[in-house]
Structure 1
Amino acid sequence: MELELIAEQGNNPRDDSRRIQSAINNLAAAGGGSLHLRGGLFQSGPILLRSQVYLIIEEDTVLSFIPDFDRYGPVWTRWEGVECWAMHPLIFARDSENLGVKGSGIIDGNGKAWWDFLRQSRKEGRREPKHPFEERLAALNPTYRTQPSGGGGRELQFLRPPLLQFFNCKNVEIFDVHLQNSPFWNTHLVYCEQVHIAGVTFQNPHDGPNTDGLNLDSCNQVHIERCHFDVGDDCLGLKSGSGEDGLRVNRPTESVLIENCTMQGGHGGIVIGSETAGGVRNVTIRNCQLDETDRGLRIKTRRGRGGTIENIQLENCIMRGVLCPLVINCYYGPGGPPPEDPIFSRSPQPITVTTPLIRDIRVHSLKGEDCKAAAAFIVGLPERPIENVHIEDCVFTLSENTDHPPSEAAMYRGLPLPAGRGIRLRNIRHLQVKRTTVEFPARTQEQKEPFLIEDNVEDLSIEIETSVPQV
C-alpha cells in the first residue's frame, strides 16, 4: 500500500505531526506499506514508526523537527550504554520488523537549540537537573547519579534524543537519505538484527556536542555500505552497553560488515567503545577512506567497562591527515575519574567481570598518510594485555608540518607522555608486524624510532622498514 503526503505551501509555521503519524498508523493497520513525503518542507514533533512501514523522504523534500523539548517525553531506551528513561527520539521504532527510512531527501533534527541549551548549562556549571523535562527524567531514573556516562551530560538528566532510533527491531533498512543536525547521536540502533544501511549521509557540524553519526548498540547481522560521514563526534560506533548494566543485558554487537564508506571529520572514523560490556566481535571493515578524522580505527575502553572485543579486521583502507590511524586504548579518559584513580593505574589491578579483554585484531593494507600525532597507539592493561595483533602490508607516513604533539594520538589518562611519534606499544601479548613501513620526515629533529616499546610487550615479531624520505 502506498500513501502520499504533499507539503503545504506558504510561509506560516505549521505542524505536520498529526498528518504524518496518522498516515503511518493507517498503513500499519492495513498491513503495511510506504508513506511518501514530497513537495517541500514538513515540520513535525516526534514520530513513531511501526512494523511493515517505510517512511520515504522524496527528493527536494525536508522533514524538519520542532525543537520543543517538552514534546519529546520519556521512553525506555538505552542512553550512553545504560537502560533508562530518556527523551523520545525524533523518529523512533520499538519491537518492530520489516521497516525503515528511505529516499533522497533530508531529515533535519534542528539540533542547534539542543546544543545551545547544553552549552549554556555547562557554562553555568550546573551538575543537577533544574528544568521540568530534566526533573521528570530524574524522577524516573532515581539511580542516575551512579550510572556511567560517556560525557553527554547524564548528571543534568538532559538526555537528548537521537535523530533516528530503532530499538529491538528486525529487518531494518535505511537507504539514501541525508540525516543532519541531530540533537544527540544521529542514528542509534539498539538490540537490532538484520540491518542494511546504504548510501546514507550522516552530517552534523564539527562543534556539535556528542553528535556521533551512526551507533550500533548490541546489534547483529549488520551491513553498512557506501555511506558518508561528516559529524561532530565519532563517525561510526560499535557499542554493547556500559559497566554493570551492560553486563546484565549481555548482548554483543557482532557480525558487522562495513565497506566502501567515506568519513570526513569527527573524533574517530570507525570506533569500538567505549561502552563494550556485552562485547564486540566478528567485524570486518574494508575499502573505506577517512580524511581528517581525529583517529582512524579507534578501540577505546578502560577498567570498569567490561566486555570482550575480538576478531576485528581492517582491510584496504586509506586514512589521510588523521591524528593517528590506529588506536587501541585501554586507558580511555573522557567521562572517567581523575588520572590518579586506580582505574588508570599502570600497575596490575585485580581482574573482575568489568575488566575488558581485547584480542585477535588484524590490520591489513592500511595506508596512513600525513599522520599528525603518531603512527599508532596500542596500549592494553598490565593485568590483561591485548592479545594477538597482526599488522601487515601497511604504510604510516608521519606529517612533516604539524602542531599536534604525540600525546594527542589517543585520549587517555594515567599514562606517561610518549617518547615519539612511532607506534606506541604497552601491555601486549603476541604482536606480529609484516611488510610494514613507518616513514618519518627527513627535516625533523624528533626521534625517528618506528616502535616505542614501553612495558610488558611479549612475543613480538617485527618485519619493518624505517623510511626517511629525502625532501
Structure 2
Amino acid sequence: LSTHTKNNSKVLFLMMELLWKTHKRVHVIRIAFALLLVVLSSERVESRKAKVVTTSLEYNAINCRAHSASLTDFGGVGDGKTSNTKAFQSAISRLSQYASEGGSQLYVPAGKWLTGSFNLTSHFTLYLDKGAVLLASQDITEWPVLEPLPSYGRGRDAPAGRFTSLIFGTNLTDVIVTGENGTIDGQGEFWWQQFHSKKLKYTRPYLIELMFSENIQISNLTLLNSPSWNVHPVYSSNIIVQGITIFAPVKSPNTDGINPDSCTNVRIEDCYIVSGDDCVAVKSGWDEYGIKFGRPTKDVVAENVTIAARFQGISNDPFTGICIANVTLGMAAKAKKQPWTCTDIEGITSGVTPPPCGLLPDQGPEKIKACDFPADSLPIDMLELKKCTYSMTYVVM
C-alpha cells in the first residue's frame, strides 16, 4: 500500500468506530457514503487531513426528523469554488426515501457552498448551521427553465418561462428550511446586470419558492442579494416565515422580500427586510391572468416585521380584513413622503405610529385586545413548534 492509502485505512477505521459508537440510528447507507468518499479522495487526504466532526443541534420546528445526514456525506465541498449542485441533488434524492419513516434532515455545516438550483422533498428539513453560506451559482446552465406560473401567464422579465428558484419544491408537504442564522447569498449582481442590459430570455430565479405545497416553515436565516424575489410560497397553505433577515441594495430590481402568492393561512413574524422593491407583498397572480386563475390569498398575519408600508388593493375588489397592531415606522426628521399609501383596502389598526391612512382607522384605546378579528383563530395560530435536538457526526476533508 502507498503511504496515503495506509493513512486512508486509519481514517476509515476511525470513522467506523466513531459512527458505530455515537450513531446507532444512522442508516447503513450513510456510513457507506462516508466511507466511499474517503476511499475515492485518497489524494485529498494526502494533502488535507480528514477530520471527523461531532456537533449538536437544537431548534424549534413544525416537525423533527428521524434520519439525518451532512452535505459532506455526499461529496459537498465548502470552498466557495466547487459546485455542490450535484451533491445537494444526490443528498435530497437519497434522503427522500425516509419520508414515510420519520422524515429526514440535510445538515449544511459552516463553509461556502456554491450551488445551482435544487429541489426539496416532503417530510424534509434543510438546516444551515452558523457560518454556512449557500452561494448561488452564476453558471446559467445550473438553472433549469420552467413554464410560467399559471396565474402569471408569462414570465415577469421576459415573455418566455422562468429559471427555477435556488431552493425549489412543488406538491410537497411538511417542508422546513431553517438554521442557526445560516446565509443564502443569491449573488444577484450578475442577474441584475443581465436584467438592466435586457439580455435575459427568461425570468430571474428566486431564492426560495414552494408551489402547491402545505405545512411549510422558513426560519432563522439571512437572505442576501437575491436575483429577484426572496421568499415566494405560491398556491400553498399553512406557512410560517419566522426570524428571517433580508438584505438587498435599495436600487436592485424587483428584490421583493416575502411574497405569499395565492396562499392560505400564512404567519410572518420577527423579520427584518431591506429590499429594492416590496418588502412584504401579498399577491394573487398578475393582472388578468391572476383574475382568471381565481385563487386569492387570505388569512395572513404579520407581526414584528420591520418595513415601510404601502397598501394597494384592486379597484372594485378591495383587500379586506387587514389588521395592523403595535407598529412604529422610523421616519426622518423632515420626511418628504408619507409612510402610508392606501387604495382599495379595508381594515383597522391599533397602536400604530405614524397614524395610518383613513382606510385603516385606529379602533381606539377602549379596545383591550388589538385587532379582534377574525372571530375564530386562524389554523396557522394553532400550530405549535416542537423542540428538535440532534447529534451530528460527519467528515470534513
* TM band (smaller chain): 0.5 to 0.7
Higher relative contact order (CA 8 A, sep 6+): 2
Deviation at 1:261, TM superposition (A): 2.0
- Does 2:376 match 1:390? no
Q: 1:16-41 deviations in whole A, cap 9, x for unaligned?
A: 11111110111112223100010311
Change (3 A) 1:389 1:40: closer
Distance 2:185 2:151 in 1: 22
Partner of 2:312: 300
Q: Is the 8 A contact 2:150 2:289 kept in 1?
A: no
Distance 1:205 1:175 in 2: 22
- Does 2:390 match 1:313? no
- Residue identity matched to 2:92: I
- Does 2:352 match 1:366? yes
Q: Is the 8 A contact 1:78 1:190 kept in 2?
A: no
Partner of 2:69: 3
Q: 1:15-67 deviations in whole A, cap 9, x for unaligned?
A: 11111111011111222310001031111111111111111111111111111
Q: 2:98 aligns with which of 23, 30, 50?
A: 30
Q: Is the 8 A contact 1:202 1:214 kept in 2?
A: no
Change (3 A) 1:10 1:23: closer
Secondary structure, aligned partner of 1:238: coil
- Does 2:76 match 1:76? no
Change (3 A) 1:231 1:80: farther
Identity of aligned residues (%): 28
- Residue identity matched to 2:319: I
Deviation at 1:69, TM superposition (A): 2.6
What is the TM-score with the length of structure 1 in the denominator?
0.56
Secondary structure, aligned partner of 1:216: coil
Q: Is the 8 A contact 1:190 1:219 kept in 2?
A: yes
Partner of 1:115: 192
Distance 1:164 1:365 in 2: 33
Partner of 2:25: none
Q: 1:163-204 deviations in whole A, cap 9, x for unaligned?
A: 110111100011101111110111111011000111111111
Partner of 1:98: 174
Q: 1:318-365 deviations in whole A, cap 9, x for unaligned?
A: 112163232113xxxxxxxxxxxxxxxxxxxxxxxxxxxx35321332
Q: 1:104-136 deviations in whole A, cap 9, x for unaligned?
A: 211111101001121223xxxxxxxxx6x61xx
Unaligned runs of 5+ in 1: 122-130, 135-157, 264-268, 270-295, 330-357, 369-374, 379-387, 395-471
Alignment of 1:251-266 (within 5 A): 251-263=295-307
Distance 2:109 2:271 in 1: 23
Alignment of 1:314-333 (within 5 A): 314-321=324-331, 323-329=337-343
- Residue identity matched to 1:25: S
Distance 1:309 1:83 in 2: 24
Q: Is the 8 A contact 1:87 1:159 kept in 2?
A: yes
Distance 2:227 2:150 in 1: 13
Change (3 A) 1:107 1:4: same
**Count of residues in correspondence between the two structures:** 283
Secondary structure, aligned partner of 2:147: strand
Distance 1:162 1:227 in 2: 18
Alignment of 1:35-434 (within 5 A): 35-78=106-149, 81-82=152-153, 85-103=161-179, 104-121=181-198, 134=201, 158-263=202-307, 269=308, 296=309, 298-301=310-313, 307-321=317-331, 323-329=337-343, 358-368=344-354, 390-392=361-363
Change (3 A) 1:220 1:115: same
Change (3 A) 1:359 1:199: closer
Deviation at 1:308, TM superposition (A): 3.5
CA RMSD of aligned residues (A): 2.4
Change (3 A) 1:320 1:308: same
- Residue identity matched to 2:127: I
Change (3 A) 1:307 1:70: farther
Secondary structure, aligned partner of 1:205: coil
- Residue identity matched to 1:318: T
Deviation at 1:231, TM superposition (A): 1.4
Higher helix proportion (structure 1 or 2) = 2
Q: Is the 8 A contact 1:324 1:376 kept in 2?
A: no
Change (3 A) 1:377 1:78: farther
Secondary structure, aligned partner of 2:361: strand
Distance 1:40 1:363 in 2: 44
Q: Is the 8 A contact 1:100 1:172 kept in 2?
A: yes
- Residue identity matched to 1:192: S
Q: 2:87 aligns with which of 19, 42, 52?
A: 19
- Residue identity matched to 2:215: N
